Structure 1
Amino acid sequence: MHSCIQMQIGESYVLWSSTASLCGLSWVCLRLLSVRLWGKPRPSGLLEYTRRRQQEYSVQRLPFLPRLTFFFRPLPNSTIKMIARTIDIPLTQKAIIAGPDRNFTVVHDAPVIDLAPNAILVKVHAVALNPVDTKLTGDFVTPGAIFGFDCAGTVVAVGSAVRKRWVIGERVCGSACGMDPERPSGGAFAEYTALPGELALRIPDYMSFEDAATLPTALNTTVLAVFWSMNIPMSLIDKPAEKSFPILVYGGSTSVGTMVIQMLKRPDEADFLRRAGLRPITTCSPKNFDFVKSFGAEAVFDYRSPSCGADIKKYTKNGLGYAIDCITEESSMKICYAAIGRAGGRYIGMDPFPAHVAATRKIVKSDWVVAFRITGMPCNWPAPFTSDADPELSESAIPFFDSVEKLLADGQIKTHPAKVSGGGLEAVVGGVDLLRRKEISAEKLVYTTISEK
């Protein structure tokens, strides 16, 4: 009689197989103790493989196995196939891809990405749009590649090299690699996608998939702009600055703006990240003044005012040394440059900026960041976005995301307001048009792809 036994050990489930005789109950019990590991599951119908295709996920040998070799014989390759839960992952899926005409369309036969060792595979429940999604046109579009970056969902598989402890079924959010010519199946706007295993975030119980989907790109951009490009010490997360100083966050009502403001907020607040002890100054339209102040802005200025830059310079007593431009247009850059004090400083944009504006004040050092770079992978978009792999950058960001995950669990980080729509992936393309027409303010477009039960 062939029997299959599923044993739970810690957070892993390992399939054991045994062959028992019908000679008696005692013999059956003895054989159950001396089970053997089989190279592949038997077609008993009790368990399905994690993936229909022959894709294996390995885990380290359990620590007690060497001491029990009398009872157990390990697989020849010294790995154990992890059947964390009965999950049927298809070969193909519904996704938004770029068609031959470079227009985005929903298809039902897009390939599910092959999981890299350092990634987790996620079943997507909600996706969010970002301004970068509106800029993927022309040479930035790879026909057949899946679209999108930000998503939230549940873990269905874990790569063999992921160090962070993930449990199958955990709720997670993160940024995928959308419209990448080298990884065309890596976009977020699909039924399944892959996320960096060390940088993805667990979603706390109180938070919906839709709210969680607003976080990834905002967090990625914030850590790159504040701690990497501006060279502001990450140690300020743990110990606030002894001497506070102002930072201009141009476009404070954007999702990146509200996240940066939270990180820089005054130390009299309880939020762990807000104890950096810096003074966020921001701009937006007057209708959103109270909104950005609710995230911790010290002062707010109307970006439409002809004297906006001069007003900020006056407020900061000609001492502003840092400006983060969440809009990055010629007009926004000019205001930032006008606001920076006489001693100069640093300007960080979200896109390549006009060189002629940068040339007006050589005492200001300018730079721009792309959220995708936080993954440490090469960026294969056309110049000037092309960049080499930088695994050290990704590694250096891990402590930041570990801290953010704890803050989320404690309810100390506010998500940007989500404008949630149904309609699944089919509705996302229309949302891109809304962003292009600049009809969205102080909200983030989010689309539910799987309803929570």
Structure 2
Amino acid sequence: MAVDSPLVIPLTQTAIVQDENGAPKLDQKAAVPRLEPGTVLVKTTAVALNPADYKMGAAFPTPGAVVGMDYAGVVVAVHPETVTSLGVGEAVCGMVHGSNPTSPDDGAFAEYIRVRPEMALRVPQGGEGRVHLPMEQAATLGVGLMTNIMALWDSSGLSLLANPKEPAAKPLPVLVYGGSTATGTLATQLLRLSGLRPVTTCSPRNFDLVRTRGAMEALDYVNPTVVDDVRAFAGGKLKHVLDCIGDSSSAALCYATIGRTGGHYVTLEQVSDELLKSRLAVRAKVALGYELFGRKVALPGVYGCPAQPEKSALAARYLPILQDLLDRGALRTHPTQLVGGELSDVLEGLKLLKSGSVSGQKLVVVL
């Protein structure tokens, strides 16, 4: 492995991989991913857990694939044919495509991960009055930010014109269903920073959380009047909805809030085609953060995609905007819950996440 690195990189490592049935397991002799032109090697210092980390293997088993998407770490090697301003020793965070059948060694739950530097964000390190972002908080950002780029600004998503660099002249309402999720709290902040009017739904115990993240209204998602309340907030003209839950009940409620002339509905999970076709004036999209890598994803249905270089161009446009927000301390991370200090603790964390008992927090393992 020809690399620019002061360290001796091992050939094997500890990682969480899929077993023969797609379930996560500990592998203490997994291969360290080989650097390729256009990549750097990152030593992970913290990883965060997402529902996709256990859902992908269960639905689409890829035995041996490294699991995990959210990471923070330090660059330890740069391939000599990689053009990047990142250097060895720099702290970075972001998303990699774990459980990836096209590139099985791409996952985050490992001691070393291969990263495309243009898809990474620098972690603000503080000093001289500058912002300091702890690595365990930085690890929560990747999936949420990449998903929001696809959801908010892709032409197939909400297709919003406003962004934090170019705020809206007219503050349109946007519903964030599941506003207390990790993606939801980031979406709410990005919408507010873009000059828009986010209204969120969540449990009352998380009202304070979503309000501190910029929600102009927080509504109880099980309240019988919630649809009418959203309509009233939007003056009956809601056109943009982000569904961070993505089940049949959330989708039905979201569709009911959209105004008579239709609009855009983005979900993070596949929902019933029958429902999606119930209103032809509503354009629906499943937003997948890994589309921004621009590469083919060999998964069935809506979870797969062909190579799309234009998605990488979208990331290149918005990641610098997000980097600026982080550098200025203008973007707050989701509350975290630490679940251990070893990669093996990821397995217990995934069980806890799958139980449905986690609310308003993102599970993190600091290594």
| TM-score bracket for this pair, using the shorter chain length | over 0.9
- Seen in structure 2, the aligned counterparts of structure 1 residues 335 and 106 have a Cα distance that, compared at 3 Å, is same
Residue identity over aligned pairs, in percent, reads: 38
> Which amino acid is 2:13 matched to?
Q
SS of 1:155 mapped into structure 2? strand
1:253 equivalenced with 2:180 (yes/no): yes
Query: For residue 224 of structure 1, what is the aligned residue in structure 2?
Result: 150
Specify the alignment match of 1:122 in structure 2: 42
Q: What amino acid sits opposite 2:330 in the alignment?
A: Q
Question: Once the two structures are superposed, what CA deviation does each residue of 1:272-327 show, in whole Å capped at 9, x if it has no partner?
Answer: xx0x2110011001111111000100111110112211221122111101000000
Per the alignment, residue 76 of structure 1 pairs with none
Q: Which residue does the alignment assign to 2:99?
A: 179
Query: Does the residue aligned with 1:142 lie in a helix, a strand or coil?
Result: coil
Pick closer, same or farther for the CA change 1:316–1:101 going to 2, 3 Å.
closer
| Conserved? CA contact 1:310–1:338, under 8 Å | no
- Report the CA distance shift for 1:145/1:94 in structure 2 as closer, same or farther (over 3 A): same
Alpha-carbon distance change, 200 to 187 in structure 1, aligned in 2, over 3 angstroms: same
- Partner of 2:303: helix, strand, or coil? coil
1:390 Cα deviation from its structure 2 partner: 1.4
CA 1:159–1:231: 2 relative to 1, 3 Å: farther
**Match of 1:349?**
267
Task: Provide structure 2 residue ranges, at least 5 long, that are not aligned to the other structure.
Answer: 126-131
Q: One-letter code of the match for 1:232?
A: L
Relative distance call for 1:360 and 1:392 in structure 2 (3 A) is closer
| Contact 2:102/2:298 (<8 A) preserved | yes
1:209 pairs, out of 135, 152, 155, with: 135
CA displacement at 1:100 relative to structure 2: 2.6
* Preserved contact between residue 198 and residue 398 of structure 1 (Cα < 8 Å): yes
How far did 1:141 drift?
1.9
- Structure 2 residue 2 is matched with structure 1 residue 56: yes
User: For 1:138 and 1:154, how far apart are their aligned partners in 2?
Assistant: 31
C-alpha RMSD over aligned residues: 1.5
One-letter code of the match for 1:199?
M
Matched, 1:375 2:293: yes
Contact 1:258/1:416 (8 A) holds in 2: yes
Which residue in the other structure is 1:426 paired with? Answer: 344
TM-score (structure 2 length as normaliser) = 0.94
Are residue 107 (structure 1) and residue 33 (structure 2) matched?
no
Q: TM-score, normalised by structure 1?
A: 0.77
The residue type paired with residue 168 of structure 1 is V
Q: Is 1:245–1:278's contact at 8 Å kept on the other side of the alignment?
A: yes
Higher RCO (C-alpha 8 Å, min separation 6): 2
Name the SS for the 1:137 alignment partner.
helix
Q: How does 1:31-430 map to 2 (within 5 A)?
A: 55-57=1-3, 82=4, 84=5, 86-205=6-125, 206-228=132-154, 229-233=157-161, 236-265=163-192, 274=193, 276-430=194-348
Check conservation: 1:254, 1:441, Cα contact below 8 A: yes
Deviation at 1:161, TM superposition (A): 4.9
Maintained 8 Å contact 2:101/2:297: no
